[in-house]
A and B are shown apart, each in its own frame.
Chain A
Amino acid sequence: MKKKKALNTYYIAVPREYDQFLALILVRDKNNKDIVPVRIQDNSVQAQYNATIYKVDLTHYVESNQEEQLIITETYFNRMSALPKKITIFEDQNVEIYDNPHFFSPYPTEKSQTTYKLASSPIFYTEEDATAKGGNIEYGPYRNDGAFTRSKIRLHFENTRPFPVFKNVTRVIEVSHWGNIAIEDFYKLANEGAELTGEYNKVDFNKYTQHTGKNSLKNLKAKLPYNSWGVYYKDEVGNISTSRAFRDSASNSVDMTIEPRFALLGGWKSNFYIGYNLPAKYTLFVEKADPTNYYLRQNSGLIFKGIMAEEFTIKVILPEGATEINYQFPFPLNEVSEEKSFSYFDFEGRPTFVFKIKNVVDYHDQTFTVNYKFSQNSIIREPLM
């Protein structure tokens, strides 16, 4: 890309029909820093080109006639849909996806090329400008596209894997200055693959075989922090006995495998809780100069990798008596609110911050900090009662 004068802003366009499925855009410039672009509310452009524009502020200025390499990562969800929509337990799941193979941009593009990596050789693909090599399909190269060039291709291919999605995740982090941080996650899990139609066929479908119900969700793998202890897995009706966890020093985590109460066939749902405790010494820090100033550092991502959460709520419950509360998140939040929660022997209530994030993906697996002031003396108040 060649520019006439020094500038540090760049605009990204996303086709409007796909914008609603966009979970995240990240831009990485030569300083190797991830930048989250800001969406621009410009209705005229949107209407004219049927596009949504995002603005990126680069970390430095690019002089005219200089080249700058940007890596743009766009993460979408729900773009693939099962076709046929409903399958029996004996059938394999096929999916289709529509896309624009051109580099969609508000600027003219000299050359662009798109490669689609599919789970299997396609059943159908739009053949115009395409070269297929097994599961990889290349479109282009396209030369000298004007701004906002687009076309539509369709891919239809077999993907027998389940499509797990968390419709909602609520994490409650309860800080105790007696040395423990209790964390409980509530998950609303759904398998959004092709829906099951017809009989369940217990004789043919077994949780432990692969021949039928291939798109069923049988287990999930989670990684908990290395120091977590007292892990539990339950739901609204009690304990679920099908889970395993072990401390893995190689990956520095507690690896947990859970099986839902029943294998989730396409279109089925299940809710569950996972809770664990963390010793406070690894996540709650106190400032040396000012011993009343505390920093709570916690992970802001899901413990399940590769599964998106449509809504993620983090509730941080600080001890009663915490004041001057601040928080820093490495990414923008959708909503923040404050409330009081009551636990054992609380009378004024514990200050509670509720952070809401939409469309949480692996990128959100970062660390956030909550900073507050708390007098060490007030922790002995409750035991005294």
Chain B
Amino acid sequence: LFFFFFKQKTAYEMLRSLVGSEMCIRDSNEGEASVLDSPFVQTLNSNAQKWAPALRMTILLMISILAVVVRVFSVIRFESIIHEFDPWFNYRTTQYLAKEGVYGLWNWYDSESWYPLGRSVGGTVYPGLMVTSASVYWVLHQLSIPVDIRNVCVFLAPVFAAFTSIAAYLMTNVITKRPEAGLFSALFVAIVPSYMSRSVAGSYDNEGVSIFALVFTFYMYLKAADTGSLLWSCGASLAFFYMVSAWGGYAFIINIIPIYIVAVFLSGNINNRLYVSYTVFYVLGTIYAMQIPFVGFQAIHSSEHMASHGVFIFLQVYMFINWIKQYITKSAFKALTRLVIFTFVSLLVLGFLYLTFTGKTKWSGRSLTLLDPTYAKKFIPIIASVSEHQATTWSSFFFDLHYLVMFTPIGLYYCLKKPSEGKLFAAIYTVLMVYFASVMVRLLLVLAPAVSIMSGMGVSYLIRFLIKNLKNALKSSKKQSSKYNVPSEFSVVGILLISYLVCTYTFHANIAGAESYSHPSVILATRDQQGNRLIIDDFREAYYWLRQNTKPEAKIMSWWDYGYQITGFSNRTVLVDNNTWNNSHIATVGTAMASSEEDAYEIAEKLDVDYVLVIFGGYSYYSGDDINKFLWMVRIGGGVFPHIKEEDFYGSGQYRVDGQASQTMLNCLMYKLSYYRFDEVKTDYWKPAGYDTVRQTEIGNKGYKLRRFEEAFTSERWIVRIFKVKPRENRDGLYIRSKGVINYPSDTATFKEGSSLFTNHKYSTKVVPPKKRKTITVSTCLLYTSDAADDLLCVDLGGRRIIKKKKY
């Protein structure tokens, strides 16, 4: 705790000094003859001017250091470990890459995931992140610095955050030509909480490097558009290539730039510089994008790229017409223009419609969700189930961006007041991202650089304006200009207020970074009654048990959230993991969890499952457990296997686990495994045995035995429970299927109902006759904290799976 405060204070102090020095530069840049013509002020002024570049670089360096330092809370308070879910896959892939080399990764067929399918990793990842850290690793090893690959992975994101702030500085500089605005932007982006949430040390995810790539590509492109230089355009397409290699979010770039071109065209300012920069960027960028195996020809035919194709063709035609203009009469030109525009537009629309309806081009589920925010909720529960894909609330806007939300409109105002091409770009970028960020909470991340740049511009504009007023007021009355006539009291108060807001922002960002976003989520920390810090290490305890005490070829069935962690920590084969490309496989696991013990056993047998792993928080107040996520298993399972019905799991119209829960709920595998023998323990002195601390209720099904599963391991605080799938007993092959439960769809029952010799089937589900549909108050169901693979933006969910159009 002490350390934390210490950190916070330094950051705060450093920033305040930054703000001070900012003003210094601003003063100096203007360099007007002041009333304060004293030699001291003059020397100060000229000195400041002389030292400004050095000062600027020093400040930028300090911001970069700050960006790194503020992100290592997690290492200091926990340890150097990979966080959360997806980073574990990236880490494992990086380890493989570092060991086997690029070709090794290309050809890697990972049999540990997606059993029995396996996964061809080389062709289904954006390799940018892994290649970056493996390159760092190789270079350091060449220099005889034998760092651990894990440490490279852990500290990559903070280092790239520093790069991002430099890129933001450069970009704002290009837009406004004002370094102070750039410095503000750099400062804002360095510590903006929404970006920090994905780039703290250990958060080894694609976004960690790709936010830098995004900002840097924009910077390069703006530079190219500004100069019309081929070199910068090539640079921009190279930066774009890096972005494509790192993250599916490159679709934003390939759409924002064409939209920007169209906007410039509409404002009538299209010129040769833009033409050159866009043409070069588009051609090279598309070709580069196709080099990534995972993108390949999608760069041509996917809907996300259509805008860029259209704008490219349009620009060529427009330039051609302009060229022809020189040679024909005005009236002929007018007619020609009309004709060409009409044909062009109709061709484009027709072509697009044709492609869409014939299915030549497809929208991915996520893109559709972005265009129609209700789409996922209606059709793709797997996307809707991820908490990051929810619509953003105001509170998260404010928590993740804080005062930048206030500064951004000022920046936008400034952009509109003195418009230029660069400012137009920034405005378009910001406005589009505000929309996307409102649709999906995770896209706050992409909004963060936009609002930081906007805020940088806004704040610096405001301060400059106020200082000019102040100076004006200090001048002798003769020289005073009427343009700046705000009373100096207002100016002083305004400057103080802005400084205060900026300081508060840094404060808030620090607290958010340290308190909210620096938890590895595989290690939990709490405090005991004496206030000592207590590490809850159940996940690693159980994962390590799997690693040490199961046979190496064991297959683990768990909900998909834990797939990457199990392969990473335990080195064991899993059925499903956080990559969501095979929805029906996930649905099978969901179905198994939602089925009765017998039915689940059959599914487990068919999939060669050796162990079932469930996360259970009812013993130790851990609310992120499987029972809370269970409705999603039901929904996703039910999306493919219609005999799983969500309403069967509601008791008295509510999702509950107590005595009033439905029979289906009380007898499903997830329930039985989570609460196995839980009724024999007391979690609270005053409460009855079997009191679930998360659901705050006494469980409804007590005293049952498991027939097909056997408890193999339960961690210290019960958070991870592992059950062994028992082998079939002798003469156990004959059994009856529970009535009314259709099983695995591919399998037509070998034993027809009633044909069995053994009918003493105690464990069959009591099938609740389908009730009349009543309005169900959809109770809160925990959303996944996991990220449904970023790899998805281009992989099509809709085509490969059957989406049952089911209303929930």
Bound Cα distance from A237 to B81, whole angstroms = 8
Query: In the complex, how many angstroms separate the beta carbon of B384 from the nearest chain A beta carbon?
Result: 32
Is the CB–CB distance between B548 and A199 below 8 Å? Answer: no
Q: Given the complex, which residues of A lie within 8 Å of B549, measured CB to CB?
A: 268-269
Q: Produce 1/0 per residue, B533-549, CB < 8 A to A.
A: 00101001111110111
A384 at the interface (CB under 8 A from B): no
A268 to B713, CA, bound (A): 12
Contact A237 B540 (CB under 8 A): yes
**Cα separation A344 to B540 with both chains bound (whole Å):** 31
- How many chain B residues touch A (Cβ–Cβ < 8 Å)? 30
Interface presence of A202 (CB below 8 A):
yes
Contact call A237/B544, Cβ cutoff below 8 A: yes
A385, closest chain B residue (CB): B144
From known contacts A200-B713, A200-B714, A201-B711, infer whether A261 and B146 are also in contact, taking CB-CB under 8 Å: no
Query: B79 at interface (Cβ–Cβ under 8 A)?
Result: yes
A202 touches B711 (CB 8 A): yes
- On whether the beta carbons of A241 and B144 are closer than 8 Å, the reply is no
Chain B residues with CB under 8 Å of A345's CB are 144-145
Residues of B whose CB lies within 8 Å of any CB of A are: 79, 81, 144-146, 523, 535, 537, 540-545, 547-549, 569, 677, 680-681, 710-716, 718, 721
- Which of A198, A237, A344 has its CB near the most chain B CB atoms (within 10 A)? A237
Q: Chain A's nearest CB lies how many Å from the CB of B75? A: 11
Pairwise interchain contact B711-A261, C-beta atoms closer than 8 A: no
Q: B-contacting residues of A (Cβ < 8 Å)?
A: 198-203, 207, 235-241, 261-262, 268-271, 342-347
Closest CB of chain A to B622's CB: distance in Å?
Answer: 15
| CA distance in complex: A344, B147 (Å) | 9
Pick the 4 closest A-B CB pairs, nearest first. A202-B714, A241-B535, A199-B711, A345-B144
Docked-complex contact A270 and B535, CB < 8 angstroms:
no
User: B711 touching A207 by the CB < 8 A rule?
Assistant: no
A269 to B549 Cα, complex, angstroms? 6
Give chain B nearest CB distance to A217 CB in angstroms: 13
Complex formed: what's the CA distance from A207 to B716 in Å? 8
Q: How far is the CB of B137 from chain A (nearest CB, A)?
A: 14
Which one of A199, A262, A268, A271 lies within 8 Å of B710 (CB-CB)?
A199
Q: A237-B540, A347-B144 are in contact. List 5 more A-B contacts (CB 8 A).
A: A199-B712, A207-B716, A238-B79, A262-B541, A268-B548
Q: Tell me if A262 and B545 are in contact (CB < 8 A).
A: yes
Q: In the complex, what distance in Å separates the CA atom of A344 from the CA atom of B145?
A: 5
Docked complex Cα distance between A199 and B677 (Å): 12
In the complex, chain A residues whose CB is within 8 Å of the CB of B548? 268-271
A342: which B residues are within 8 A, CB to CB?
A: 144, 146
Q: How far is the CB of A290 from chain B (nearest CB, A)?
A: 30
Q: Give the docked Cα–Cα distance between A346 and B145 (Å).
A: 8
Find the residue from B535, B540, B548, B569 having the highest chain A CB count within 10 A: B548
The smallest C-beta distance from B711 to any residue of chain A, in angstroms, reads 5
In the complex formed, the residue of A with least CB distance to B712 is: A200
Contact indicator B712/A344 (Cβ below 8 Å): no
Residues of chain A with a CB closer than 8 A to B146's CB: 342-344
Closest Cβ–Cβ distance, residue B146 to chain A (whole Å): 6
Could you tell me the distance in whole angstroms from the C-beta of A95 to the nearest C-beta in chain B?
22
Q: Is the CB of B79 within 8 A of A239?
A: yes
Central interface residue in A236, A262, A345, by most chain B CB within 10 Å: A262
Closest A-chain residue to B677, C-beta based?
A203
Residue picked from A198, A236, A239, most chain B C-beta under 10 Å? A239
* In the bound complex, CA of A103 to CA of B710 (Å): 49
Known: A202-B711, A239-B79. A270 touches B680 (CB 8 A): no
CA distance A107 to B549 in the complex (A): 48
In the bound complex, do residue B144 and residue A202 qualify as a contact, i.e. CB atoms below 8 Å apart?
no
Which of A200, A207, A262 lies in contact with B544, CB distance below 8 A?
A262
A338 and B43 alpha carbons, distance in the complex (Å): 69
List, in ascending order, chain A residues with CB within 8 A of B718's CB.
202
Q: How far is the CA of A269 from the CA of B718 in the complex (A)?
A: 21
Distance, CA A236 to CA B92, complexed state (A): 13
How far apart are the CA atoms of A202 and B144 in the complex, in Å? 49
User: A380 CA to B535 CA in the complex, in Å?
Assistant: 42
Residues in A whose Cβ lies below 8 Å from that of B711:
199-202
> Do B537 and A235 have beta carbons less than 8 Å apart?
no
**12 chain-A/chain-B pairs, Cβ below 8 angstroms:** A200-B711, A200-B714, A201-B677, A201-B711, A202-B677, A203-B677, A237-B547, A238-B540, A239-B79, A241-B537, A261-B545, A262-B716
Q: A270 contacts B714, CB within 8 Å?
A: no
Chain B residues with CB under 8 Å of A261's CB are 537, 540-541, 544-545
- Least CB separation from B143: chain A residue: A345
Q: How far is the CA of A344 from the CA of B141 in the complex (A)?
A: 9
Contact of A346 among B144, B537, B542, B547 (CB under 8 A): B144
Taking a contact as CB atoms under 8 Å apart, the answer to whether A238 and B714 are in contact is: no
Closest to A263 in B: B716
Bound form: Cα–Cα A203–B81 in Å: 31
Cα separation A220 to B476 with both chains bound (whole Å) = 83
Residue of B nearest to A206 (CB): B716
In contact, B710 and A198 (Cβ under 8 angstroms) = yes
Q: How distant is the Cα of A200 from the Cα of B706 in the complex, in angstroms?
A: 13
Q: A270 contacts B544, CB within 8 Å?
A: yes
A343 contacts across to B, CB distance below 8 A: 146
CA gap between A260 and B214 in the complex, in Å: 45
- The docked-state distance in angstroms from the alpha carbon of A269 to that of B551 is 12
Give Cα A199–Cα B713 distance, bound, in whole angstroms: 8
Bound: A342/B721 CA distance, A: 42
A343 nearest CB neighbor, chain B only: B146
Rounded to whole angstroms, the CA-CA distance of A268 and B547 in the bound complex is 11
Known: A238-B81, A270-B544. A262 touches B713 (CB 8 A): yes
B540 and A203 contacting across the interface, CB-CB below 8 Å: no
A344 pairs with B144, CB closer than 8 A: yes
Bound CA–CA A333/B564 (angstroms): 44
Check B680 against A203 for contact (C-beta < 8 Å): yes
Name which residue of chain B comes closest to A268, CB basis.
B549
Distance (whole angstroms) from the CB of B470 to the closest CB of chain A: 52
A239: B residues at CB distance < 8 A: 79, 81
Query: In the assembled complex, which residues on chain A have CB atoms less than 8 Å from the CB atom of B541?
Result: 261-262
Q: Determine the distance from Cα of A342 to Cα of B141 in the docked complex, in whole angstroms.
A: 10
Residues of B within 8 A of A235 (CB): 544
Which chain A residue lies CB-closest to B543? A237
**Complex-state Cα separation, A261 to B539, whole angstroms:** 10
- CB neighbours of B712 from chain A (8 A): 199-200
Q: CA–CA, A212 to B238, complex, Å?
A: 64
Query: Cβ of B710: which chain A residues have Cβ within 8 Å of it?
Result: 198-199
Complex: chain A residue closest to B542, CB-CB: A262
The chain B residue with its CB closest to the CB of A345 is B144
A274 to B681, CA, bound (A): 36
Report the separation of the CA atoms of residues A235 and B541 in the bound assembly, to the nearest whole angstrom.
11
| Chain B residues closer than 8 Å to A269, beta-carbon distance | 548-549
Q: How far is the CB of A263 from chain B (nearest CB, A)?
A: 9
User: Which of A203, A240, A268, A271 has most chain B Cβ within 10 Å?
Assistant: A203
B165–chain A nearest beta-carbon distance, Å: 29
B167 nearest CB across to chain A (Å): 31
In the complex the two chains form, what is the Cα distance from A201 to B710 in whole Å?
9
B176 CB, nearest partner CB in chain A, Å: 43
Q: Which residues from B are CB-within-8-Å of A271?
A: 548
Q: Which residues of B contact A202 (CB under 8 A)?
A: 677, 711, 714, 718, 721
In the bound complex, CA of A207 to CA of B537 (Å): 15
Q: How far is the CB of A161 from chain B (nearest CB, A)?
A: 20
Residues of chain B within 8 A of A236, CB atoms compared: 544, 547
Q: Which residues of B contact A203 (CB under 8 A)?
A: 677, 680-681
Q: B540: which A residues are within 8 A, CB to CB?
A: 237-238, 261
Most chain A CB within a 10 A radius of its CB, from B145, B523, B537, B680: B537
Q: How far, in whole Å, are A343 and B681 apart by their CA atoms in the complex?
A: 52
Give min CB distance, B496 to chain A, whole Å: 46
Bound complex: CA A340 to CA B79 (Å): 31
In angstroms, how far is the closest chain B Cβ from the Cβ of A247? 21
A41 to B714 alpha-carbon distance, docked (Å): 52
Alpha-carbon separation in the docked complex, A209 to B464 (Å): 70
Question: In whole angstroms, how far apart are the Cα atoms of A95 and B711 in the complex?
Answer: 26
Could you tell me the distance between the alpha carbons of A240 and B548 in the complex, rounded to whole angstroms? 15
Q: How near does chain A come to B551, taking the closest CB pair, in angstroms?
A: 12
